[in-house]
Chains A and B, each alone.
Chain A
Amino acid sequence: MEKPPAIVANGLTRRFGDLTAVDSLDLEVRAGEVLGFLGHNGAGKTTTVRLLNGVLTATAGSARVLGLDPAVDGAELRRRTGVLTETPSVDERLTASENLNIYAELYGVSENTIHKRVAGLLDMFQLADRANDRVSGFSRGMKQRLALARALLHQPELLFLDEPTSGLDPVSTRQVHTLIRELSRNGGHTVFLCTHNLEEAQRLCDRVAVLEQGRVVALGTPTELAHNLGQGVRLELETAPGSVAAALEVLAAFRDARDVSQTDGHPRLTLALPVRDNIPQLVSNLVAADVPLYRITPQEPTLEDVYFALHENKES
C-alpha cells in the first residue's frame, strides 16, 4: 500500500505587511522522496519551511505534514522533523558535544541512547576529535556539519535541509550528498532540500519544485519539466571530417531540426529536435546520404536548462 504523502500544502500563504512571501502554495511531497525546492534568494523557501514546521503561522491556506496540522500540533510535529537552518545556528560558546547533548534532551532522545547517538554523529561528521572544543573556534564547514548532526539527532522522518552544502569543501559536500541519498533510499526518510545549487538538485532529487515569488511555478522531474516546457531534445552527433558538409545538408533538409551548429574544427554537430521520436528518421536520412555516424548522443536537458527556461518564460 502506498504511504500517505509527507507534506500536503493547499493555498498556503504568508504575508508580512505588503509583502507576500508565500503565495497560495500548493504542493505535495511523497513519503521517502528527496524533493528539491529551488528558488533564488527571497523566493520564499525559508518561509515555507517555517510554515511547514509550525514555527510561523499562515495568513491563509492549510498544510498537513506527516498527517499533522503544523499550526495546531507544531510541537508534536517538530518531534518528527529535523531542520537544518540556512545559518548553522549552533551555540558558539558551547562545545560540539554540549551542543548535541543539549539538543538531544530538547528533542526527547532517551537518556540511555544520548551518549551513543551523539558519539556516533560526531564520528560520522568527523568532529569526534574536536568534540570537547568550543564551537567558536570551528570553521564554517565544521559548524555546518555540526548543525547537520544536530538535525539528525532524533532520527526524524522528515528532514528539511536549507542549503546543506553551503560553505562545505568538496569532500564534505560529497559526504553530505551520500548521506542524503542514504537517508532517502535506505532509511526511508523524506528530504525537503532547499537549494540554489542546480547541480546538487539534479544529482540528489527525485523531483524538484521551482519557486518564484512565493509560488510553485513548476513541479516534477527535470525531464518532465523540460517536456512540459516544450524544450525538446538536444542531440550531439559525430561524423567523419570529410562528411560534415553532407551531414549539414541532410540536417538543413530535415524539417524538424533546429539550432544546428558545428563544434569548431571538429566533425561534431549539435542540434535540437522537438521530440525523441524524430531521432530514428534523422538517423535513417543520414545513413541514406552515406554520412558515416561514429556517435549519436541525445542530451537530456539539465536542471539548469529548465530553471533558466522557466525564468526566461516568466520574464517574457
Chain B
Amino acid sequence: MNWRAIKAIVRRDLLAVVRSKGVMLPLILVPIVLMIIMPAAMGRFGPAMTEIPGANVPDVAQLLEIMPESMLAQYERYNTDQLLIIFTLVYMFAPMFLIMPLMVASVVAADSFAGEKERNTLEALIYTPTTDLELFTGKVLSAWVPALLVSLVGFVLYGLTVNISAWPTMQEIFFPNATWLVLVFWVAPGAAGLGLGATVLVSSRVNSFQEANQIAGVVVLPIVILVIAQASGVMYLSLALTVVLGIVIWLIAIALLWVGVRTFRRSEIIARH
C-alpha cells in the first residue's frame, strides 16, 4: 500500500470539505445542537420543566416503574429530579450521540465519492498511479477520521455541558459512565463505518452530493428506533447491550465496506462517468 498517496487523498478530500459551506454547515450545527444546546437546556431546566403543564418532559414516576430492577439499584441514592437528569442525559441522549459519527461520515463520504463526480474532479484522480484499493482506502479514511474526531470533540463538549448545566441539581460529576465510554470508543467508530459504507454504496449509483446525502440519510433510522425504544421503556442502553449494539453495527459496517471495496473499480466508475 502506498501510504503517501493515501495521505495525499485524505488531505485533498479534507481540504475540499473544510472549504465547502454546504458540507461544513451540518458538520458544525448538528454537534452544537445535539451536544451543547439540547443537553444544556435539559440539564439546567429539565427538573423545573416537569412543573409546567403540557411540557414534553418524561414522567419520572412512570419511567421508574418500567426501569429494570438492576438499573434502579444503581440509582437508589438519587432523588426524583436527579433521576430525571440521569435518565435523559445519560440514557436518552446516548443514541443521539451516535447520530454524529453517522452523519459526519455520511456527509463527508457523499462529498468525497458522489460530490467528486459532480465537480468533475474524479478523472484526474483516476489517472494517478494509485491502485483501486489505495484510492478507496484514501476516500474511506477521509470520511472516517473526521467522523471520529467530531465524535470525540462532541463527547468532551457533551461531558462538560451536562456536568456544568446539571450541577445545581446533581451536585456531583455524574457523567460519563462506563456505557458512554463503550459508546464513544467502540460503537461510534463502527457507526461512522456504517454511515460511510452505506454512502459509498449509494454514491456509486448517483451523481450528486445532495442525492447521495439524502438517500444515505436513511441509516439514521435505527438511531431513531433506539431513542423511541428507550423512551417507551422497551429497552435501555445498559453496558452489555451497548457492547452488543457495537458488535452488530461493526458487522454491518464491515459488510457494507466489503461490498464497497469489491465494487470500487476505476474502470467501472470511469465507464459510467
Find out whether the CB atom of A103 lies under 8 angstroms from the CB atom of B128: yes
B126 surroundings in chain A (CB, below 8 A) = 55
Binary contact track B250-273/A, C-beta < 8 Å → 1, others 0: 000000000000000011001100
Of the candidates B9, B121, B267, the one whose C-beta lies within 8 Å of that of A89 is: B121
Q: Among the listed stretches A4-12, A105-113, A235-243, A260-268, which one makes contact with chain B, having 4 or more residues with CB under 8 Å of it?
A: A105-113
From residue B135, how far is it (CB to closest CB) to chain A in Å? Answer: 10
Interface size grouping (class) on chain B: 20 to 34
Of the candidates B5, B123, B125, B271, the one whose C-beta lies within 8 Å of that of A87 is: B123
Find out whether the CB atom of A93 lies under 8 angstroms from the CB atom of B129: no
Give residues 48-86 of A contacting B (CB, 8 Å): 50, 53, 55-57, 75-79, 81, 83, 85
- Report the count of interface residues on A (CB-CB < 8 A): 31
Find out whether the CB atom of A105 lies under 8 angstroms from the CB atom of B7: yes
- A147's closest neighbor in chain B, by CB? B124
Q: CA–CA, A93 to B111, complex, Å?
A: 12
Find out whether the CB atom of A89 lies under 8 angstroms from the CB atom of B123: yes
Of the candidates A81, A85, A108, the one whose C-beta lies within 8 Å of that of B123 is: A85
B9 surroundings in chain A (CB, below 8 A) = 106
B16 lies within 8 A of chain A by Cβ: yes
A94 lies within 8 A of chain B by Cβ: yes
B248 lies within 8 A of chain A by Cβ: no
Find out whether the CB atom of B129 lies under 8 angstroms from the CB atom of A107: yes
Binary contact track B109-123/A, C-beta < 8 Å → 1, others 0: 000000000011111
Given contacts A89-B124, A94-B15, contact A105 B8 (CB under 8 A): yes
Q: CA–CA, A5 to B12, complex, Å?
A: 36
Of the candidates A50, A75, A93, the one whose C-beta lies within 8 Å of that of B16 is: A93
Of the candidates A78, A79, A91, A107, the one whose C-beta lies within 8 Å of that of B121 is: A91
B15 surroundings in chain A (CB, below 8 A) = 93-94, 98
A102 lies within 8 A of chain B by Cβ: yes
A123 lies within 8 A of chain B by Cβ: no
Q: CA–CA, A107 to B5, complex, Å?
A: 8
Find out whether the CB atom of A75 lies under 8 angstroms from the CB atom of B121: no
B130 lies within 8 A of chain A by Cβ: yes
Find out whether the CB atom of B131 lies under 8 angstroms from the CB atom of A75: yes
Q: CA–CA, A308 to B70, complex, Å?
A: 88
Q: CA–CA, A282 to B122, complex, Å?
A: 60
A256 lies within 8 A of chain B by Cβ: no
Find out whether the CB atom of A55 lies under 8 angstroms from the CB atom of B129: no
Q: CA–CA, A115 to B38, complex, Å?
A: 48
Find out whether the CB atom of A91 lies under 8 angstroms from the CB atom of B267: no
Q: CA–CA, A98 to B12, complex, Å?
A: 8
- A92's closest neighbor in chain B, by CB? B119
A189 lies within 8 A of chain B by Cβ: no
A56 surroundings in chain B (CB, below 8 A) = 267, 270-271
- A82's closest neighbor in chain B, by CB? B127
A94 surroundings in chain B (CB, below 8 A) = 12, 15-16, 19
A147 surroundings in chain B (CB, below 8 A) = 124
Give residues 1-18 of B contacting A (CB, 8 Å): 2, 4-5, 7-9, 11-12, 15-16
B80 lies within 8 A of chain A by Cβ: no
A294 lies within 8 A of chain B by Cβ: no
Of the candidates A92, A93, A98, A108, the one whose C-beta lies within 8 Å of that of B5 is: A108
- B8's closest neighbor in chain A, by CB? A105
Given contacts A50-B270, A55-B267, A87-B123, contact A93 B4 (CB under 8 A): no
A98 surroundings in chain B (CB, below 8 A) = 12, 15
A134 lies within 8 A of chain B by Cβ: yes
Binary contact track B1-44/A, C-beta < 8 Å → 1, others 0: 01011011101100110011000000000000000000000000
Between A and B, 24 residue pairs with Cβ closer than 8 Å are A16-B271, A50-B270, A55-B267, A56-B271, A76-B129, A78-B129, A83-B124, A85-B123, A89-B120, A89-B122, A89-B124, A92-B121, A93-B19, A93-B20, A94-B19, A102-B8, A102-B11, A102-B12, A105-B5, A106-B9, A108-B2, A108-B4, A134-B19, A150-B124
* 16 further contact pairs, Cβ within 8 A, besides A83-B127, A93-B15, A106-B9: A55-B126, A75-B129, A75-B130, A75-B131, A78-B127, A78-B129, A85-B124, A89-B121, A89-B122, A89-B124, A102-B8, A103-B128, A105-B7, A105-B8, A106-B129, A108-B129
Enumerate the 7 nearest inter-chain pairs by beta-carbon distance, A residue then B residue, closest first: A105-B8, A79-B129, A89-B124, A78-B129, A93-B19, A106-B128, A83-B127
